[in-house]
């Protein structure tokens, strides 16, 4: 099938299930064009029956797409990276490669059942002095902070600051703690309290994240200036 020119439009439906074919409520589905000219990522969330339904409209329509499906993400947690995932992640874990789908222009496409590919777990990042005292206890301090996540091979996967809304939702100021939602895998956490230029400080251990358990805790100690 050849991609058409001009305005492309199709409706897409499917269902997200677990390994026992039970529907998953609130799962996240991202659809991204496999190749140019399209560059629009579409997002949908599953309903009470695990079903998703959305419309793709793109002035540079592409019928070849990649679907990325993740477990529901906690509302009060910061997710540092989203699909489409980097080549580094795709090399180290097939869960980040997604699933290819073929859309039919100006028609409804039923992509059937999807298994969850990426599963999230909670991680609490405590930022303290070397004596254990919470350091960042006001919103202004968190606005200056940058967070870096490294993958299993030590490559940087994401790096950036936090918005005021993210701080409000995901930071416990009294405990100087940021709650992250990270996919299953092995991750390294670094913090730059004074912005992107650093200095950067590394968490006390790497994280082996598995879904379904209690939140993990790591500490980043910031020495005195």
Total Cβ atoms within 10 A of residue 42: 17
Would you state the pLDDT for residue 127?
Answer: 97
Instruction: Report pLDDT for 39.
Output: 59
pLDDT at 10: 80
What is the model's pLDDT at position 8? 59
What three-state secondary structure class fits 64? strand
- Closest residue by Cα to residue 66 from 44, 43, 98, 94: 98
Contact assessment for residue 115 and residue 186, using Cβ atoms and an 8 Å cutoff: no
Q: What is the pLDDT of residue 182?
A: 96
CA distances, 21 to each of 36, 45, 142, 197 (Å) = 34, 18, 42, 48
Q: Which domains are present in the chain?
A: 8-76+95-115 (2.60.40.10), 120-221 (2.60.40.1120)
Contacts of 4 (CB under 8 A, 6+ apart): 61, 105
Total number of residues shown for the chain: 225
Whether the Cβ atoms of residue 99 and residue 67 lie closer than 8 Å to each other? yes
The pLDDT value recorded for residue 34 is: 77
pLDDT at 1: 36
Is the distance from CB of 217 to CB of 121 less than 8 angstroms? Answer: no
At 175, give phi and psi (nearest 5°). -100, -5
Q: What is the mean pLDDT of each run of 10 residues along the chain (225 residues)?
A: 52 92 94 68 90 75 84 91 91 92 85 93 96 95 97 95 96 97 96 94 94 92 89
pLDDT at 3: 42
Residue 212 confidence (pLDDT): 83
Residue keyed to tokens 């599953």: 46
pLDDT at 59: 52
What's the token pair of residue 2?
């050849």
* pLDDT attached to residue 21: 92
Residue 54 has a pLDDT of: 85
SS3 category, 53: strand
């Amino acid at each position: 099938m050849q991609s058409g020119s001009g305005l492309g439009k199709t409706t897409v439906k499917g269902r997200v299930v677990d390994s026992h074919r039970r529907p998953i409520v609130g799962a996240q589905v991202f659809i991204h064009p496999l190749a140019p000219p399209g560059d629009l990522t579409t997002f949908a969330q599953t309903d009470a029956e695990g079903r998703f339904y959305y419309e793709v409209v793109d002035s540079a329509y592409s019928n070849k797409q990649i679907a990325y499906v993740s477990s529901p993400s906690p509302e009060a947690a910061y997710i540092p990276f989203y699909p489409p995932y980097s080549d580094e992640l795709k090399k180290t874990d097939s869960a980040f490669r997604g699933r290819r789908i073929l859309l039919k222009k100006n028609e409804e496409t039923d992509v059937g059942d999807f298994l969850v590919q990426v599963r999230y777990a909670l991680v609490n990042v405590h930022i303290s002095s070397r004596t254990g005292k919470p350091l960042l206890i006001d919103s202004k301090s968190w606005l200056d902070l940058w967070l870096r996540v490294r993958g299993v091979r030590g490559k940087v996967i994401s790096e950036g600051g936090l918005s005021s809304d993210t701080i409000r939702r995901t930071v416990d100021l009294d405990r100087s703690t940021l709650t992250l939602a990270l996919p299953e895998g092995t991750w390294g956490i670094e913090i730059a309290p004074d912005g992107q230029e650093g200095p950067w400080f590394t968490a006390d251990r790497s994280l082996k994240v598995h879904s379904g358990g209690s939140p993990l805790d790591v500490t980043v100690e910031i020495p005195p200036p």
